[in-house]
Amino acid sequence: MKKTGIIYRKEHGPFNYNAWPTVAKDDDGVLYTVFSGHRVNHIDTFSKTYLCKSYDNGETWSLPIVINDSYLDDRDAGIIYLGGKKFLITYFCTNVDYYFNKWNNLMIRPMSPAEKIMTLGAIELYKEVPQKTNDYGSFIRITEDGFNTISEPYKIPVSTPHGPILLHDGSIGYLGKEMHNDNTDIDSDTLFYFKSENEGKTFNKLGEIPIPSDMDLTQFHEPHVVEYENGKLFGVYRAHNAKNPDLRTTMFFTASNDGGKTWETLRPSGIDGLPPHLIKLSDGRILLTYSRRNEPNQIEAVVSCDGGKTFGETIIVEKFPQHAYEGDFGYPASIELGDGSILTVYYAIYGDDKKPSIMYTKWKI
C-alpha cells in the first residue's frame, strides 16, 4: 500500500517555491503540516510560514494558513503537539549581511530576470525597515487555541529544521546547532541539547555533543532526536563538507542515556542521506527518514529495533526522476497514523513544474 499526493502546490506566478515541511498529529487525529511557502527561490526574502490541516488522514488538505510572516527569510518550519489545543512551531531567519555578502553563492537555481530584480529590490529595502522587523536568528512561537492566535516569536540559541520533540515527562527536548545568533554565551556552530520544563517558553542548556577529533563543528548540521525510552535519547546529525569524500553526505549518530546531559561522540552511520527525521513507532521501534540526494534521488527510511544501535534494510519511500531541481528536494518528516501506516511529508517537483510543492507519501513498513 502506497499513495502519493499533494499537500500544497502553486502552479503559477513567482511565489511558487515551497520547501522544508514538518508534520504533527493531535489527539483527534487531525494532521498539521507546516512549511516555508510563498517563496521565489531556495533563498529569498518573501517567504512565510504556512500551515495546512488534514481531517482525513492526509487524503485531503486545507488551503494554507499564514502563521508567521517576518520581513526576513522564514525557513525550515518545525511543529510539535503539546496536548489539548497547544502547539509549538519553530523556524529560523538569516540576517541582512548574509544576503548581501553571499547572494551570488546562494542562488542554487537560476531566477528569471524579473524574479532577480524583485528579490534584489527587497534586499535593498532591508536598510529602511525597523530593527525589530529585521531581527534574525532561531525562533519559537506557541499557540494555545489551535492557531486561532499565536504568541509573539522569541529567540532560542539553537536551530534545526524539524524543531524539538515532546518527551515522556511532558518536557521538551531540543537537539540543535547554534547558528545566525548573536548570543555571546555560545560559540558559533556548537552542537547542544536543550530542554524546556514549561512547554517551550524557556530552554536550559543540558549537554554538548562531542565530535570526532578529525572533524570540525562546521561539518555538522540539521540534527533530529528521538526519546526511545524514558531518559534514553538517540540523535542524528547531517554531515556536510567533510574532508573525507566518503562522509560528505553521511549521517552521524549519537546517543544519551542520562536524559541529554552527556552524549556519545558522533560516529558515521554509513547511511548516505540528509537531513534526518526520527520518530518512535507505537511498537517501540525507531523510524529514521531522510532524503538521498546522490543517485538514485529518493526519500528513504530505515528502522531500528535496538534504540539506534543497528538499522534494518533501506526502505524506498518515494523515487524521483531527473528534473531541473535535482539535489533540491526532500527534508522528509514522518508521523504514524492510527492504522499503523506512515505518512511522510517532503518537498519535491510535481510533474513538469519548475519549482517544488509540498507533497506526501502514505506507506506501510
- pLDDT score of 204: 92
Q: Tens digit of pLDDT for each residue in 312-346?
A: 999 999 998 766 566 689 999 999 999 999 999 99
- pLDDT score of 293: 85
Angle of CA points 234, 239, 243, to nearest 5°: 140
| CA 140 – CA 77 distance, rounded (Å) | 10
- pLDDT score of 22: 98
Q: At residue 20, what is the residue type? A: W
Instruction: Assess contact for 362 and 2: CB atoms under 8 A.
Output: yes
Burial class (CB in 10 A: 0-12, 13-18, 19+), 186: middle
Q: How far apart, in Å, are the Cα atoms of 112 and each of 14, 40, 41, 107, 118?
A: 9, 10, 10, 12, 10
Bridge partner list, 53: 32
CB atoms within 10 A of CB 316: 13
Domains defined along the chain, listed by start: 2-363 (2.120.10.10)
Angle of CA points 143, 342, 63, to nearest 5°: 45
Q: At residue 229, what is the residue type? A: E
Rounded to the nearest 5°, which phi and psi values hold at 132?
Answer: -60, -40
| CA 93 – CA 24 distance, rounded (Å) | 22
Q: Tens digit of pLDDT for each residue in 50-84?
A: 999 999 999 999 999 999 998 888 899 999 999 99
Per-residue cell: 317? 519511500
pTM of the shown model? 0.93
3-state SS class at 205: strand
Q: How far apart, in Å, are the Cα atoms of 343 and each of 152, 206, 338, 349?
A: 30, 32, 11, 18
- pLDDT score of 100: 55
Q: How many CA atoms lie within 13 A of 220 on its CB side?
A: 30
- pLDDT score of 328: 84
Q: At residue 113, what is the residue type? A: P
- Give kind and range of the element (H or E) at residue 32: strand 31-39
Could you identify the residue written with the cell 561522540?
Answer: 265
| CA 25 – CA 165 distance, rounded (Å) | 13
CA quadruple 314, 173, 164, 223: dihedral sign: negative
In sequence order, what are the residues at sequence separation of 6 or more whose Cβ sits closer than 8 angstroms to the Cβ of residue 91?
36, 49, 68, 74, 75, 76, 77, 78, 138, 139
Of the candidates 211, 214, 197, 234, which has an alpha carbon nearest to the alpha carbon of residue 308? 234
Query: What is the residue-level pLDDT of the chain in tens, covering all 365 positions?
Result: 799 999 999 988 889 999 999 999 999 999 999 999 999 888 777 899 999 999 999 999 999 999 999 888 889 999 999 999 999 999 998 765 665 555 554 555 677 888 888 877 877 777 777 766 667 889 999 999 999 999 999 888 889 999 999 999 999 999 998 865 554 455 566 899 999 999 998 999 999 999 998 888 888 999 999 999 989 999 999 987 666 777 778 899 999 999 999 999 999 999 988 899 999 999 999 999 999 987 788 999 999 999 999 999 999 999 987 665 666 899 999 999 999 999 999 999 998 888 899 999 999 99
Per-residue cell: 320? 524521483
Find the length of the chain.
365
- pLDDT score of 184: 42
Bridge partner list, 273: none
| CA 42 – CA 139 distance, rounded (Å) | 20
| CA 160 – CA 156 distance, rounded (Å) | 11
For the chain, the straight-line distance linking the first and the last C-alpha, in angstroms and rounded, comes to 10
Of the candidates 1, 104, 91, which has an alpha carbon nearest to the alpha carbon of residue 43? 104
- pLDDT score of 139: 92
Instruction: Assess contact for 291 and 300: CB atoms under 8 A.
Output: yes
- Give kind and range of the element (H or E) at residue 11: none
